[in-house]
Copies of this chain bind each other. A is one copy, B any other.
Amino acid sequence: MKHLFVVGLGPGDTAYLTPQVRSALERSQVLCGYGPYLDLIRGEFPEKEYLSTPMTQELARCRLALESADAGKTTSMVCSGDPGVYGMAGPVLQMAEEFPEVEVQVLPGVTAALSGAALLGAPLTHDFAVISLSDLLTSWEVIEKRLEMAALGDFSLCLYNPASRRRRENLRRACQVLLRHKGPETVCGWVRNAGRAGERCGIMTLDALKDFQADMFTTIFVGSSATRVVGGRMVTPRGYGVKKCGS
């Protein structure tokens, strides 16, 4: 059997790398991925063969990985975070139909919603929605509709890809959509470089968030109506607090 693992490194630091993923990387002859993600593990696995393609060349990268596995080399497609959250699990499985001899196995990792939430406190402890603000592969109309429905459902939100060099205004536009249905004092948080060198985070209101300068290494958290700042942390209660107050 020919093997392709699609693995999630977590946020970057090997402290978050699960033993399952480490074992898949060790078993692999070839590690394929976006260059900056491969750089996170190159030091740990110097003897591997490395394959990569530039940003926006995701499909070519999937093909490289599948061809490598199909050639008989056990291969890992390396993603940051979790491969199933805006990662390569989807496109690899779609393309894998062309490579019937390759068995694809997806191995999860700690995605930025979880690593970022842990730094801020517990913003996602109740129901939540995850939305990417990147309009490269999704129309802004779809993004806006989802922001609106998530606001009406009073979900806590985790926003991926709030900005890039080309899309500076998407976070502001998203906040404007949310402000139609959520109070300006809604508790929000930002995390930059979660679980990597240069890790930082902060808490602010939704009103202030619309002027926040996010970059491509930032993850944004928007509270539900129940989210509070507790001891300097962003916390969305799940109802235990209510019970406690009533007891």
A interface residues with partner B (beta carbon < 8 Å):
8, 10, 13-20, 23, 58-59, 82-87, 89-91, 93-97, 106-111, 114-115, 117-119, 121-132, 136-138, 142, 145-146, 148-150, 152-155, 230-231, 233, 235-244
Identify the closest chain B residue to A8 (Cβ): B114
A93-B109 in contact given A82-B114, A129-B129, A243-B137 (Cβ < 8 Å): no
Known: A89-B118, A89-B121, A137-B243. 14 other contacts (CB 8 A): A15-B20, A18-B110, A84-B114, A89-B122, A94-B241, A96-B230, A108-B114, A109-B110, A127-B138, A127-B146, A129-B130, A129-B150, A149-B153, A153-B153
Q: Are A237 and B94 in contact (CB under 8 A)?
A: yes
Identify the closest chain B residue to A62 (Cβ): B240
Bound-state CA distance A110–B117 (Å) is 13
* Oligomeric state, in copies: 2
Question: Measured between C-beta atoms, what is the minimum distance from A79 to chain B in Å?
Answer: 11
Find chain B residues with CB under 8 A from A115 CB: 108
Q: Are A126 and B138 in contact (CB under 8 A)?
A: yes
Find chain B residues with CB under 8 A from A137 CB: 238-240, 242-243
Q: Can you show 13 pairs from A to B with CB atoms below 8 A apart?
A: A10-B18, A59-B244, A83-B122, A84-B117, A84-B125, A85-B125, A86-B125, A106-B118, A127-B132, A137-B243, A145-B153, A146-B155, A149-B149
Bound-state CA distance A162–B132 (Å) is 26
Most buried by B among A93, A96, A122: A122
Question: Measured between C-beta atoms, what is the minimum distance from A89 to chain B in Å?
Answer: 4
A127-B129 in contact given A18-B18, A91-B241 (Cβ < 8 Å): yes
